[in-house]
Amino acid sequence: MSNTLTLFLLISTFFTGCFWIYYRIKEIKNYCFKNTYNQQELSPKNQQNIKNCNYFLQSLASFFPIFFIVFIVRSFIYEPFQIPSGSMMPTLLIGDFILVEKFSYGIKNPITHNTLINTNLPKRGDIVVFKHPIDYNTNYIKRVIGLPGDKIKYDIHNKHIKICKNFLIQHNCKDKLFIHYSDAKTSQFAQKIYFLNNKNTQHKKIFTLFNFDILEETIDHLKHNILLLNVVTTLKKEYYQQKNMPRLTWIVPEHQYFMMGDNRDNSLDSRYWGFVPEKNLVGKAIIIWMSFDKNENEWPTGIRINRIGNIH
């Protein structure tokens, strides 16, 4: 969808730009040489047809500045995104509209996504929009947890992570990151867990509402809140296994990143499908510019003014 819109803007900018240039040249030519054709030689019907055609083409040409500005801003500067799921709760909620800074990690070709100008690299803790490494046409948003060279271990029981920096270079865990977790508290965020009612002859699905626990995760003095749902357990075999590595342990390759959602028990991220290449990075999420009070696949019921502002 993102590439389709970009391609539409590019084609629209090109064609309207051609008409815009044509009429600017024509205006200059008429001004300089006073070269106008004699409409008296044409029948009234043909004169009207020419006027209608000119009006239509001039109208198309008038859209060029709009298409051009939108294409430049959206492709190279800022692009709006909507949060469709709860994988980044409590940081980002369903119904949040965010602005993504496209030049944070390099100026890229909007069609091929090849880097044209290098700028900065992602930092640990950044919230990043990226192309899914398997389904390239789908944009995901997660938090950067592991940088190139990191060794990451995930504890399936307490759902904590451990990180060793520069493991690819040092081949040891001397450079460990400080990671601290606060005590868990019950949050206002809830998740529906569906069960099959075997006692019912129709086998209807019933659900129970469970509240997430909220706690503060501190990674190398960078603090953010995460959600855990202790009633949810994932089988070890469901996690991504890196070649020549035990399951639940990963070494981040060069020019790739390990991403995780803040809603740890409701996020499909690098724990399940692996690493995100640097070329897949779209940009850094920097601000919430609008937030509608809504649930997934439901219509909004209001506006959350208090959520508008910077993202942490």
122 CB burial (10 A radius; 0-12, 13-18, 19+): buried
What integer pLDDT is reported at residue 60 of this predicted model?
Answer: 79
Amino acid at 178: F
* Residue range 4-18, pLDDT digits in tens: 788 888 888 888 888
User: Closest Cα partner for 127 from 260, 267, 234, 264?
Assistant: 260
Pick out the chain residues at pLDDT < 70. 1-2, 27-54, 193-207
What does the pLDDT read at residue 190? 85
218 burial class (0-12, 13-18, 19+ CB within 10 angstroms)? middle
Q: What gap in Å lies between CA 184 and CA 189, rounded to an integer?
A: 13
Using the structure block, give the residue that is written with the tokens 């054709």: 37
Residues in the chain: 312
- What is the value of pTM for the model shown? 0.84
CATH tag for 83-310 (out of 3.40.50.300, 2.10.109.10, 3.40.50.1820, 3.30.1300.10): 2.10.109.10
Domain boundaries, the chain: 2-75, 83-310
* pLDDT score of 288: 96
Active-site amino acid positions: 87, 142
CA distance 94 to 81: 12
